Structure 1
Amino acid sequence: MLRTSIEAKKRHHYVWANYLTRWGNGTKNVFYTTKTGKIACDSVRAIAADDFFYKTTTLTSENVDIIKAFSRKSPSHLHTQHISYLDDVLKLQRLEAIYRASGKQDQEAEALLHATKCNLMENLHSSHEMKALSILEALANERLDILHDKQHMIEFMMFFGHQITRTKPFRDAVFNAQPRRNNLEIKVSDTIVHAWWFISYMFGMNIGWSLYSSRNEDIHSLLVNDTGLPFITSDHPVVNVHSCVSETDFIAPEYADFYYPISPRIAYIICNSKRFSPGVNYIDKNTVEELNIKIANQAMVHIIGNTTNALLPYKKHLGLRYKKRPLF
């Protein structure tokens, strides 16, 4: 039997399974819409996941150049971080090239290479999840004060940024939106597809840092829902609910109100608008209904709730945004 340290992680969740259990009524089973549009109840392990979703690929020199070009648009300290991560990936790639060139084949070496490709990005996302674990627990219990700690705020915003960019709906929307009108655009588009496992992580870091940097200009609010109509979540749990977001036209929104349900009762929102006041906000049923519709609208396959009845009103809204236009 192979050592545990080199066992490959095959099943990659693009929405954190632990996060989804807050809709499990004390269990790991949640209600969710299936690919066929039915409502099922099963373990969170069964949904918002694909085999080898974050598995790394071999990067060509052209891929690397395009990744670096994207990275140079970042703040300098983030660019340095991106390149450091990229260098680590390329070192591993060079080691594999040396091994392949030797002509030798070793079972344990093959298993180690496979596990490294499967586990590298999955482990990075897991590290952000672990740092956010106690923060989400506190927020679910209305303890907004946990974010008064600067380190907690940095960790939560980094986690938050990746909840936007790491999902399959976001990935597919970006892929669909890439122009392929000339040779350069084709090369960029092909690199985005081939190296999305790295590029999406880089984008998530950038969004997280931007949200942290603007924390004193944006309004950060905890939404408390005591209406009896629970919040739902989805396979793309952070959505822009700002009124400027077009439902029909392919236009990048000028502003963002990033909404993130944390449980059937609690949600977090980061607002460019003045819609909510800083701190704790108790919201009404109409607001819950609106936010649930927007979650359903931007989901791809799964909307997730704590009961069948929590999902039934929103099935008709599921994925409507994709049918109207190709990007969030």
Structure 2
Amino acid sequence: MSTLTKNQHYVWCNYLREWTDKKGHIACYMLKERNSFCTKPENIAVERFFYELTDLNEIEQEWIDRLIERASNPEVRQMHRETVGLFQNIFKMQSWLDLQQDLADTARQSLQAKLDVMRKTLGERWHTGIENLAFPLLEKLKNSDVDFYNHEQDRINFIHYISQQFFRTPKLRVLQIRENHPYFDKGLDLDRTWFLESQIFATNVSAGIFLERNMYKFKFLTNETETSFITGDQPVISLGEDGIGFRLYYPLKPTLALIFEKDAIAPLKTETKAMSLQVNYYNSQMLKFSYNQIYGLNKEHLQAVADLPKDVLAG
């Protein structure tokens, strides 16, 4: 716990490397600034102490408790309580340290430094653990291999991973800051509660998918066109809930994308060759749902995606 990582990623660096060139550079287009540049994946999709934890005040705890109770499954509610407790234990330790009047200064300073590091980095380490479990699964997916889904633990790890990739981003954090939130009048600051909220939402989605895990299938879009798939700072996007279940789109590399969706009839894996119009459609959706950055093989292509008509159709 001695290393303090200030710039914390909300998109996995290892994932982004599929879009790098021989020099290890990836192209990035900034939507708000309307400019592009090339850099290392380590330099994008980051925010200073993005996962820093906060000590919940009474109103914040009330809101988190209310979110937990919305889960209909008692086992899921218990999982939420344990997760929230894990991240709030740091502040119980801080309270204990504050009460230790007889502690030597050097010992107090050492313990305080360790608590500060934990508060600022535990959330990132949590996501690193999820990514480590998903690494071999992602490598298989990039080869259109879904055999891992037949193994219970791998299936759990994948469902948890893709749900976390959907909810961990600034885009979803901003969506939570809505004008008519019932707790705004009570002084609730959703920036302070977002990390815990994201864990609750991701777990709820994971649990829902897991309950119907045999109904969810993998649809691969192979891309042999001259236009590559792009990705963005919201790498997993929802193509909507059509009354059947979630449809999650996840570009895996410039030549391959995944749709993970509920389909009772389809086999576990299907592969379809994407036409140019379809590639443009999915790229436009990635642009639409990104927060401020899209990523690709080169700046010129990203500029072209940014200039796509807003009514691009899948065809």
Q: TM-score range by the shorter chain?
A: 0.7 to 0.9
The question of whether the paired residues in 1 share the 8 Å contact of 2:165 and 2:236 is answered with yes
Q: Within 1, Cα distance between the matches of 2:250 and 2:166?
A: 10
Q: Within 1, Cα distance between the matches of 2:164 and 2:189?
A: 20
Q: Which residue of 2 aligns with 1:12?
A: 8
**Which of residues 240, 253, 256 in structure 2 aligns to 1:266?**
256
Q: Within 2, Cα distance between the matches of 1:206 and 1:164?
A: 12
The question of whether the paired residues in 1 share the 8 Å contact of 2:219 and 2:259 is answered with yes
Change over 3 Å in CA distance of 1:212–1:27 after alignment to 2: farther
* 2:289 counterpart letter in structure 1: Q
Identity %: 22
Change over 3 Å in CA distance of 1:317–1:73 after alignment to 2: farther
- Tell me the SS of whatever aligns to 2:154: helix
The residue correspondences of 1:115-194 to structure 2 (distance < 5 A) are 115-175=117-177, 177-180=178-181, 184-187=183-186, 190-194=188-192
Q: CA deviation at 1:21?
A: 0.7
- Tell me the SS of whatever aligns to 1:212: helix
Change over 3 Å in CA distance of 1:202–1:296 after alignment to 2: same
Q: Within 1, Cα distance between the matches of 2:269 and 2:33?
A: 40
Q: Which moved more, 1:273-282 or 1:220-229?
A: 273-282
The question of whether the paired residues in 2 share the 8 Å contact of 1:236 and 1:299 is answered with yes
Gaps of 5+ in 1: 245-252, 321-328
Spell out, residue by residue over 1:98-154, the C-alpha distance to the aligned partner (whole angstroms, 9 max, x if none): 212335653212211110101111111111101111111111112122322222111
**Which of residues 97, 100, 105 in structure 2 aligns to 1:99?**
97
TM-score (normalised: structure 1): 0.84
The question of whether the paired residues in 2 share the 8 Å contact of 1:242 and 1:273 is answered with no
- Tell me the SS of whatever aligns to 2:221: strand
**Which of residues 262, 277, 302 in structure 2 aligns to 1:311?**
302
Q: Within 1, Cα distance between the matches of 2:230 and 2:224?
A: 14
Q: Within 2, Cα distance between the matches of 1:286 and 1:240?
A: 19
Answering whether residue 285 of structure 2 is matched by residue 289 of structure 1, we say no
Q: Which residue of 2 aligns with 1:326?
A: none
**Which of residues 206, 227, 230 in structure 1 aligns to 2:228?**
230
Q: Which residue of 2 aligns with 1:57?
A: 54
**Which of residues 190, 197, 200 in structure 2 aligns to 1:199?**
197
Q: What is the alpha-carbon root mean square deviation over aligned residues?
A: 2.6
**Which of residues 14, 25, 32 in structure 2 aligns to 1:29?**
25
Q: CA deviation at 1:215?
A: 2.8
